[in-house]
Amino acid sequence: MKSGKYFSSGKNIAYEVERDAALVNRGWSIEWHIDGKALFRYTTKGALKDIVDSRGETLYVNTDCQGRVEKIFRRANSKDIPLVGYHYDSSGNMISTEDSFGTRKFFYYVGHQLVKLTNQSGMSFHWEYDGEGEASRCIHTWGDDGVMEYHIEYGDGFTRTTNGLGHTTEYYYHDNKLIYKIVDANGGITRQHYNEFKELDVIVNPEGYSRRTVFNNFGLPVEITDENGAKTRLAYDGRRNLTSVITSTGRRTSWEYDEYDRVIKRTLPDGNSFSYTYEGGALKTITDMEGRIYTLKFNSRQELLQLVFPNGIHRTWEYDERGRLVKATDVKGNVTSYNYDDADNLIRLHEPDGNVHEFSYDTSGNLIVASDRLRKVEFEYGPLGTLIGRRQLDHHVRFRYDGELQLREIINEGGECYSFRLDGLGRVVEETGFDGLQRKYLRDGAGRVIRVVRPEGRQTEYEYDGVGNILQETQHDGRTSRFAYDEDGRLLRAENKEIKVAFKHDLGGRIVKETQGGHCIMRKYDRTGRHVHTESSLGASIDYSHDKDGNLSEMNSGGWSARWQRDRVGLETERELTG
């Protein structure tokens, strides 16, 4: 790439390259929107020297004579703080990495093939191949003690994987390597279809329900048809910003943008809208339909310093040199402070009431001790950070997993066991409680529970629509409940032998009418969505009033009323009721 500035098509992103070999610091930068820039600087030999991000923070880079990165670190308070280190062998293989605490992962090779990885907790993972060189493929991988073991078989147009529990999944693909069929461990078949541009446009799940997507010329979805046949339409402007989403029932959400592709207005289906302004590259104000303004203040590092509410109260935040939150002040002036270790783990939290929470971590970054002035909780971990124990005082709860690291048992303080039996996809098909009682779950090909069998043979059966909404529930004694939904998935009706309940929603999804048997309740909302009136077929009529901050301030029903007084932050200070 030659020296100069390059712009991406349709977006305010510029790539600037300086190739003057006479300069000590050659540079390559990315600029976007306003005040957004990432700078990459190099030595005269072309090795990466440092990276300056959009917040102005510098990451320093040490490289070896081959130009390979050996160390990345920050500087804070005149101190070098290592982030990660890399080590290589004479063949150029990366043989270890090192984190900010000096904890290392090790990598072992045959030639250039990775055959073993030992992580920071001392656990190893292994790989076997069907040959040597770049064309070879992995045929077996496993962790110590058989954890996450997989055998891989490659055939003509398919790949078969079998895990350590004996469950097999098959993937079938065309010459273009796009997968068109997946046979899962339960025998369920998922089919996939691609358009001429290799975009996944049809997925048919094991129950035969299909989800279809139509794309535009830029590969963006413009129409999605779900498993019930409901269509959602999406529109974009010439710069490929999403401008509207319209559901099957006509509910429309829209967005407007400025010249830098930032959202300046968002309009919800009920017509309620929010406007946004910016200062430099940061969000400055949010204004709702009633003209209430929320003001945000950021520093030059794009860290939020202050949020001012419409009534003038505010929250503030402070950060250290590394961008970590160290102090938060709420609207009442209460201060919470935070302390961290060099790996950015939170190690101490001071609450406004003086309580101090302290946290300790293992070499993998897992929380092992959490304590405050009232309690102390300890945690134990197994492979890949799986929680295997929790101890508080004399209470010790243990967790056991299978080779796929799926939870199979919970053992409580009394030694009682809560166990799970899983199917080939890791979904629960049977559970036995601490009391020894069992529940069994029969699932369909899509994983939905279609029958629950409880003790003494009692069972409940379920029927679903294409997107997983329950249509019918049948109890063991023949009692049946039925449910109906609109195309957006909102509940419209629920009925059983005794009663029928129906719901009507407004464009915002709020219930405006609820009918139960021969009676109904109706609700009205103002344009911002606040509940202002309720009435019923039995004669009830209740009015609600709100203050300028949106808090409930008064209720009136006939000759009865209630009034609330609140402080500036919205907390109730006085309540007045009629006798």
DSSP letters of 138-188? EEEEEEGGGTT-EEEEEETTEEEEEETTS-EEEEEE-TT--EEEEE-TTS-
> Per-residue DSSP letters for 63-124?
E-TTS-EEEEEEEETTEEEEEEEEEE-TTS-EEEEEETT--EEEEEEETTEEEEEE-TTS-E
Q: What number of other Cβ atoms are within 10 A of residue 21's Cβ?
A: 8
Amino acid present at 29: S
Q: What number of other Cβ atoms are within 10 A of residue 143's Cβ?
A: 19
**DSSP-derived 3-state class of residue 418:** strand
- Cβ-in-10-Å burial (0-12, 13-18, 19+) of 88 comes to middle
Residue 163 contacts residue 179 (beta carbons within 8 Å): no
**CA separation for the pair 344, 328 (Å, rounded):** 17
**CA separation for the pair 472, 483 (Å, rounded):** 6
Q: Rounding to the nearest 10 degrees, give the CA dihedral for residues 171, 172, 173, 178.
A: -40
Q: Which of 477, 488, 438, 442 is nearest to 463 (CA)?
A: 442
Q: CB within 8 A of 454, min separation 6: which ones?
A: 437, 439, 460
Could you tell me the CA-to-CA distances from 574 to 332, 548, 560, 563 in Å, in that order? 18, 17, 17, 8
pLDDT of 151 reads: 98
pLDDT of 4 reads: 53
What Rg do the C-alpha atoms of the chain give, in angstroms?
A: 30
DSSP 8-state class, residue 276: E
Residue 255 contacts residue 265 (beta carbons within 8 Å): yes
**CA separation for the pair 4, 28 (Å, rounded):** 10
- Cβ-in-10-Å burial (0-12, 13-18, 19+) of 227 comes to buried
**CA separation for the pair 39, 31 (Å, rounded):** 9
Task: Identify the bridge partners of residue 329 per DSSP, sorted by sequence position.
Answer: 316, 335
Question: Could you tell me the mean pLDDT of each successive run of 10 residues in the chain, 579 residues long?
Answer: 51 54 52 72 90 87 95 87 94 95 94 95 96 93 97 98 98 97 98 98 98 98 98 98 98 97 97 95 95 96 96 96 94 97 95 98 95 97 96 96 98 97 98 97 97 95 98 96 97 96 96 96 95 96 95 94 94 91
**DSSP-derived 3-state class of residue 385:** helix
pLDDT of 579 reads: 67
Residue 199 in tokens? 């975009």
